[in-house]
A and B are shown apart, each in its own frame.
Chain A
Amino acid sequence: ETVMTQSPATLSVSAGERATLSCRASQSVGDNLAWYQQRPGQAPRLLIYGASTRATGIPARFSGSGSGTEFTLTISSLQSEDFAVYYCQQYRNWLTFGQGTKVEIK
């Protein structure tokens, strides 16, 4: 099983600031990596796939980078609606998710 580890568990950021979330895979997943946003009481929403491609309708302030075992999701200027939990997910070896990073208001 490919274990996905996200850091930090919680990120406290002020609106308008930059947020950087990390995701590490226990073995190489190439660029088979997606990021999801989950707001309270809602289903996850696909943000990024292929490690760096924004999904349809996702604002440009969201960007993904990395390959192999190290990945990053960057939110360039946090808006109020961006405070949520973010999950990475690999699909190179079946599907596994990270444990999530909660982005909260500082």
Chain B
Amino acid sequence: QLQLQESGPGLVKPSETLSLTCTVSGGSISSSSYYWGWIRQPPGKGLEWIGSIYYSGSTYYNPSLKSRVTISVDTSKKQFSLKLSSVTAADTGVFYCARQSKGLRLGELDYWGQGTLVTVSS
């Protein structure tokens, strides 16, 4: 059974860079059939796609966050990572990693990590 697990600091100071890692187990991160994505959810609010990466390193970012986001992949460790720079309190929320189907374009998100809460505060 595929499992994804987010890890990283739960508290980040304003203006600093948020860094999270997602570790994939029970399956291959190098499958040609999937992307790997990051999604966030502010407290009590809805879901926002941050970006996705293919095992080859090709990336796709939400245009509204693109200037602050970097997603990378390490296939040898079965991990992919998120960096979000210049954070503010508005970036506080639960961050999820997920597997994403690959068709002609980005697809649905069929396996999700449990999520990790990141608070931006001094």
Contact = CB atoms under 8 A, between A and B. Distances in A.
Contacts of B46: 87, 97-100
A91 B108 contact: yes
B93 interface: no
Interface string B94-122: 00100001000111111011110000000
Interface in A1-47: 1, 32, 34, 36, 42-46
Contacts of A56: 110
If over half of B's interface residues share one DSSP class (helix, strand or loop), that class is named, otherwise mixed; here it is: strand
Contacts of B108: 34, 46, 49-50, 55, 89, 91
Contacts, number: 59
Given A87-B46, A91-B105, A96-B49, A44 B110 contact: no
User: Which of the listed residues B47, B49, B115 has the most CB atoms from chain A within 10 Å of its own CB?
Assistant: B47
A96 B114 CA distance: 20
B63 interface: yes
B62 interface: yes
Classify chain B's interface size: 20 to 34
Contacts of B60: 94
Interface residues of A, number: 24
27 contacts: A32-B107, A34-B109, A36-B47, A36-B109, A42-B114, A43-B112, A43-B115, A44-B109, A45-B112, A46-B109, A49-B107, A49-B108, A49-B110, A55-B108, A56-B110, A87-B46, A87-B47, A91-B107, A91-B108, A92-B105, A94-B60, A94-B106, A95-B49, A95-B106, A96-B49, A97-B48, A100-B46
Given A34-B109, A56-B110, 18 more contacts: A1-B64, A32-B105, A34-B108, A42-B114, A43-B96, A43-B112, A43-B114, A45-B112, A46-B108, A91-B105, A91-B106, A91-B107, A92-B105, A94-B62, A94-B63, A94-B106, A97-B48, A97-B49
Interface of A: 1, 32, 34, 36, 42-46, 49-50, 55-56, 87, 89, 91-92, 94-100
